Amino acid sequence: MLRNALSKASLGRSVSGRLASASGRHAPGGSRRLASQLVEPKQPEVVTDEIPGPQSKAALSRLGLLQDTRAVVFAGDYQKSVGNYIVDADGNYLLDLYCQIASIPVGYNNAALLKAAQSPEMASTLANRPALGMYPSKDWGSTLEQAYMRVKPKGLDMVFTTAHGSDANELAYKAAFMYYAKTRRGGTEGFSAQEMSSVMDNVPPGAPDVAILSFTAGFHGRTFGALSTTRSKAIHKLDIPAFRWPRAPFPQLRYPLDKYSEENAAEESRCLAETERILHDNPMPIAAIVIEPVQSEGGDRHASPRFFQELRSITKQHDVLMIVDEVQTGCGATGTFWAHEQWALETPPDMVTFSKKMQTAGFYHTREMVPDQPYRNFNTWLGDPSRALMTRAIVDEVLERKLVEQTRDTGAYLKSHLEPLAIRYFRVFNSVRGEGTFLAFDCTSAELRTELLHLMRMEGVNMGGSGDVAVRFRPMLTLTKAHVNVFITRFESVLNKLYQKHWPR
């Protein structure tokens, strides 16, 4: 059903007119445009009374016979989606500030990515998928250099490619455990007969009780090892057997940071002291800690560079590895390519995991993290070279178009608009925070957040939440100040609607 029936005919005309110009679906000569010729609209366009609209609902009822669709927001039309705008099955054009859970780097139907997707190299890579640990192509080394090593975190000279974010963490943990065992054996991997037999029964000493320490509200994925370190929501963990690994407190900071600097420093010191106590007293030895630069799924929780610097010193003192999970923060969104660059650590982390905007997953590491024997951290595909070609094209785009710098500017502009709105509309939201465009705010209740996200969607802006009450910004690196202006206008309109409904004068 089209949005209000008011003059269906005229609306129909204007809708189709807008779609033609907004989506650029028709080439000037009347023929259908190629995806790479699509043009971003200047404004969102919402043409249905509800989202999901009728076409989305039809697609979902069909899909629902085959898969669980209860988390689906709407069905997308990825042939028409363009730049910062996602198009749904009903032809609604929404400014996308959520971007497939923070994982679209440089825009829908980006011309450079489409070109890479259509290259003969890509066709060959897709048609002939190698088991990379055994039969990599002769070009795999140079692909790794161009896709990953050009943007490698300082001090980490090797990269291990994996399937997705949870997998990246899972395999980084395995590397940490093997490194831990090797150092405890005096640097060798000579296994005892008892280790060799006990490991087949999943008991020590072959399968030792060793832990990864994670932090309250952290999210590191949903595979078994990763899930044991995930602490954000019970529903992700319920009914799944887990390792009995410890959890340290993550600072609960108050915003604005400069107003609460003393309390926040005290809170960070408390968390550091407790982390140190756990590393010292935990009955199960700890091989590594894993931490996100910004706890993302857990509600956009931040800590200061000082916190991370001191945490790094503590891990060094206790001879424990530091794994930084940049699955969500990596690839530029915080205004530096890797968020942890902003901590200016004296010694780099031991491993940095990535996925999402990189469009391939894995972890950077030092040579020391490579087990002495082959086949130990291993699987059939060890990543996907076709996706790595996309990562290469993404990194090209990001570097050539200086998108990290753009993100820094656009983010500062967005934040400067959000902060005064948070004061004016304090009954709806507060605690604006973040770096680059990796921003967030808290709604004053979970119910209000649901209402706000829904109203924003109906205004043509797709957004998402994190934690219990936060709304997170996860736009592409291609977001500009013009997009921010579009967002702010619509956001103010929604804030006014919420005030009129809940606090009428």
Ligand X SMILES: Cc1ncc(COP(=O)(O)O)c(C=O)c1O
Among 154, 157, 209, 380, the active-site one is 380
Burial 408-421 (b: 16+ CB within 10 A, else e): bebbebbbebbeeb
228 vs 355 by CB, closer to ligand X: 355
| Full DSSP string of 186-203 | TS-----HHHHHHGGGT-
Output the smallest distance, CB 361 to ligand X, in A.
6
Copy the structure tokens of residue 27: 């080439």
90 vs 167 by CB, closer to ligand X: 167
Among 219, 337, 354, 438, the active-site one is 219
Output the smallest distance, CB 147 to ligand X, in A.
18
226 vs 272 by CB, closer to ligand X: 226
- C-alpha to C-alpha distance for 35 and 29, rounded to whole angstroms: 16
Binding residues (CB under 6 A) for ligand X: these are: 164-166, 169, 219-221, 292, 296-297, 325, 327-328, 355
Among 80, 356, 357, 415, the active-site one is 356
Output the smallest distance, CB 151 to ligand X, in A.
18
Question: By the 8 A CB rule, do 440 and 450 touch?
Answer: no
Q: Where are the beta strands (DSSP E) in 239-398?
A: 247-248, 286-291, 321-325, 351-354, 361-365
Q: Is 90 a catalytic residue?
A: no
Instruction: State the amino acid at position 200 in one-letter form.
Output: M
223 vs 377 by CB, closer to ligand X: 223
DSSP β-ladder status, 464-466 and 470-472: antiparallel
- C-alpha to C-alpha distance for 495 and 8, rounded to whole angstroms: 29
Output the smallest distance, CB 102 to ligand X, in A.
7
Output the smallest distance, CB 335 to ligand X, in A.
18
56 vs 296 by CB, closer to ligand X: 296
- C-alpha to C-alpha distance for 436 and 327, rounded to whole angstroms: 16
Nearest to 459 by CA among 54, 51, 79, 98: 51
Q: Is 325 a catalytic residue?
A: yes
Output the smallest distance, CB 37 to ligand X, in A.
31
- C-alpha to C-alpha distance for 301 and 467, rounded to whole angstroms: 9
Among 77, 96, 325, 442, the active-site one is 325
CA angle 482, 464, 418 (to 5 degrees): 45
Number of C-alpha atoms within 13 angstroms, CB side, residue 281? 8
23 vs 169 by CB, closer to ligand X: 169
Residues carrying an active site annotation: 219, 325, 356, 380
